[in-house]
């Protein structure tokens, strides 16, 4: 292709306004075409490791390349070779779905490129973040005692919370053996945060879960007593409201009350399960979570928000400011003390303008629109649960409080654990290799567990019904095998 470089490419400035406008329209078409045609694509591309890299140039181009060619390569090499998280037949892990209004908001926030470090250099973005955090808090039915902010991920929201929790006890004395508690079903982000804050793997005591994978709060109380007697200093309990393997919900109220009695920081990881609270009649599932010191919910999971956005809610913002605020001379401004400077509540100085996409989305869908969608997903999940329960050769391996179902194929006459595991490994591999659906797995009570999650705005009941058909048809084609 011989195209002359444009003025934007030959000078020392940016792409010029006319060229930007033209490509902005064409990229809008690329995006709309992708979303419209998504369902025709396999969910998982048929590529081997290294295959894409081999088609990418080893060295960066010295001279400008035609824009036409750049986007043609995007369309040819990148778009078809991703695993399509937006696909209605993506039912693995947890949903991560970018709604139309969310994508538009993400685009505008890239356009403004507002860096939300402090009020002076981001007035509207700071105040919009405060507003949207308060909106989300209300949408979740949490009291006005909570404020908060956005971070990139639940892992980071949890890390910040554990730093604040530890800072609170370090203010009083300097104990050497701090301990925090989480169930044996908790996400690895708790352990990672513990590594980063220096309490180490020994500083996390796993608490056994009951047969429904919920933290056993009596065992928690005993562990705290034992540890105090042995010279540990307990400082925090991290409950999970919607665990990653089975979506089990720890007893929030019992944990919150125990933390209050014991003087411990109460953290709830509701990265996935928090979305349930968007539906008023599901809030009972999380009852007591309002006793928390900190709560993490990921709008980029079951909230239709383009990656990334994690909501960190806290009861005592000063606990975070005490842990994180440093005010070097180069950041001092005339409005300090009159407005929020979000960098004082966490590790990062520069922060993305995440509130914009959520503001646009919440106004576009309305709170009732969110509730209606979550409710539909939960209802389809309950229907799928009932299909599993009614089927002779299938069994459910965990309760289904949200929109994720844990189950396995278990034909009558086959009870050897290894054989059952291999059957289910084979079913999952076949389905994912064929690429029409994408499911994932977990290990529950040492059983290979299939996991199907619903939560995508492009999904309909028909997709869920088809997944059940495909599972049954695939199971009929696998044969039990010896190791
Ligand atoms: C997904 C998930 C996380 C991790 O979320 P990131 O935003 O990817 O860090 C943590 N906890 C739970 C319960 C999750 O489901």
- The answer to whether the CB of 269 is under 6 A from ligand 1 is yes
CA within 13 Å, CB half, 327: 10
- With 0.85 as the threshold, say if the pTM is over it: yes
Nearest CA to ligand 1 atom 4: 154
Candidates 329, 443, 407, 342; CA nearest to 115 is: 342
Looking at residue 174, what is its pLDDT?
59
- The answer to whether the CB of 186 is under 6 A from ligand 1 is no
- The answer to whether the CB of 343 is under 6 A from ligand 1 is no
Residue 187 Cα to ligand 1 midpoint, Å, equals 7
61 burial type by CB count under 10 A (0-12 exposed, 13-18 middle, 19+ buried) = exposed
Looking at residue 173, what is its pLDDT?
61
Residue 296 Cα to ligand 1 midpoint, Å, equals 9
The minimum-distance atom of ligand 1 relative to the CA of 186 is 13
Domains (range + CATH), the chain: 7-84 (1.20.1340.10), 104-363 (3.40.640.10), 367-477 (3.90.1150.10)
Residue 13 Cα to ligand 1 midpoint, Å, equals 41
The three-state DSSP-derived secondary structure of the chain is CCCCCCHHHHCCCCCCHHHHHHHHHHHHHHHHHHHHHHHHCCCCCCCCCCCCHHHCCCCCCCCCCCHHHHHHHHHHHHHHHCCCCCCCCECCCCCCCCCHHHHHHHHHHHHHCCCCCCHHHCHHHHHHHHHHHHHHHHHCCCCCCCEEEEECCHHHHHHHHHHHHHHHHHCCCCCCCEEEEEECCCCHHHHHHHHHHCCCHHHEEEECECCCCCECHHHHHHHHHHHHHCCCEEEEEEEEECCCCCCCECCHHHHHHHHHHHCCEEEEECCCHHHHHHCHHHHHHHCCHHHCCEEEECCCCCCCCCCCCEEEEECCHHHHHHHHCCCCHHHCCCCECCECCHHHHCCCCCCCCCHHHHHHHHHHHHHHHHHHHHHHHHHHHHHHHHHHHHCCCEEECCCCCCCEEEEEECCCCCCCHHHHHHHHHHHHHHHHHHCCCECEEEEECCEEEEEEECCCCCCCHHHHHHHHHHHHHHHHHCCCCCC
Residue 356 Cα to ligand 1 midpoint, Å, equals 22
Nearest CA to ligand 1 atom 8: 153
Report yes or no: 121 and 321 within 8 Å, Cβ to Cβ: no
Looking at residue 298, what is its pLDDT?
98
Residue 27 Cα to ligand 1 midpoint, Å, equals 31
Low-confidence ranges of the chain (pLDDT < 50): none
- The answer to whether the CB of 341 is under 6 A from ligand 1 is no
The minimum-distance atom of ligand 1 relative to the CA of 310 is 7
Tens-digit pLDDT profile for residues 230-269: 999 999 999 999 999 999 999 999 999 999 999 999 999 9
CA distance linking residue 240 with residue 329, whole number of Å: 40
Tens-digit pLDDT profile for residues 69-86: 999 999 999 999 999 999
Here the tokens at position 290 are: 């309002």
Looking at residue 162, what is its pLDDT?
97
């Amino acid at each position: 292709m011989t195209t002359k470089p444009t003025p934007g490419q030959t000078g020392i400035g940016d792409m010029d306004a006319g060229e930007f406008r033209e490509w902005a329209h064409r990229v809008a078409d690329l995006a709309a075409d992708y979303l419209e045609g998504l369902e025709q694509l396999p969910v998982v591309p048929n590529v081997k490791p290294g295959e894409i890299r081999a088609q990418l140039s080893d060295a960066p181009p010295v001279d400008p390349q035609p824009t036409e060619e750049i986007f043609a390569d995007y369309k040819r090499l990148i778009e078809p070779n991703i695993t399509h998280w937006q696909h209605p037949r993506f039912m693995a892990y947890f949903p991560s779905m970018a709604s139309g209004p969310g994508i538009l908001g993400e685009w505008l926030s890239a356009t403004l490129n507002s860096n939300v470090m402090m009020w002076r250099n981001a007035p509207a973005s700071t105040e919009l973040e405060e507003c949207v955090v308060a909106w989300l808090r209300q949408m979740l039915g949490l009291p006005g005692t909570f404020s908060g902010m956005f971070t990139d991920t639940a892992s980071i929201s949890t890390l910040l919370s554990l730093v604040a929790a530890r800072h609170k006890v370090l203010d009083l004395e300097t104990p050497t053996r701090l301990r925090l508690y989480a169930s044996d079903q908790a996400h690895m982000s708790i352990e990672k945060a513990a590594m980063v804050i220096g309490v180490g793997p020994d500083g996390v005591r796993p608490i056994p879960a009951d047969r429904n994978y919920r933290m056993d709060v009596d065992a928690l109380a005993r562990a705290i007593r034992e540890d105090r007697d042995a010279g540990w200093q307990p400082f925090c309990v991290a409950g999970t409201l919607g665990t990653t393997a089975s979506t089990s919900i720890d007893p929030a109220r019992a944990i919150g009350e125990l933390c209050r009695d014991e003087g411990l920081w109460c953290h709830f990881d509701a990265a996935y399960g928090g979305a349930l609270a968007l539906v008023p009649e599901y809030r009972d599932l999380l009852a007591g979570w309002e006793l928390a010191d900190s709560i993490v919910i990921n709008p980029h999971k079951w909230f239709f928000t383009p990656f990334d956005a994690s909501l960190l809610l806290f009861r005592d913002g000063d606990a975070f400011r005490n842990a994180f605020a440093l005010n070097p001379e180069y950041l001092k401004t005339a409005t300090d003390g009159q407005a929020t400077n979000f960098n004082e509540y966490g590790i990062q100085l520069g922060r993305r303008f995440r509130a914009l996409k959520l503001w646009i989305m919440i106004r576009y869908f309305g709170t009732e629109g969110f509730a209606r969608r979550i409710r539909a997903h939960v209802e389809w999940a309950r229907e799928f649960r009932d299909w599993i329960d009614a089927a002779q050769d299938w069994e459910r391996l965990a309760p289904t409080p949200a929109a994720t179902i844990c189950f396995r194929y278990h034909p009558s006459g086959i009870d050897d654990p290894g054989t059952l595991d291999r059957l289910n490994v084979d079913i999952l591999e076949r389905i994912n290799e064929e690429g029409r659906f994408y499911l994932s797995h977990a290990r529950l009570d040492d059983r290979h567990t299939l996991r199907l999650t619903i939560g995508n705005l492009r999904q309909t009941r028909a997709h869920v019904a088809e997944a059940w058909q495909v599972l049954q048809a695939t199971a009929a084609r696998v044969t039990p095998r010896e190791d």
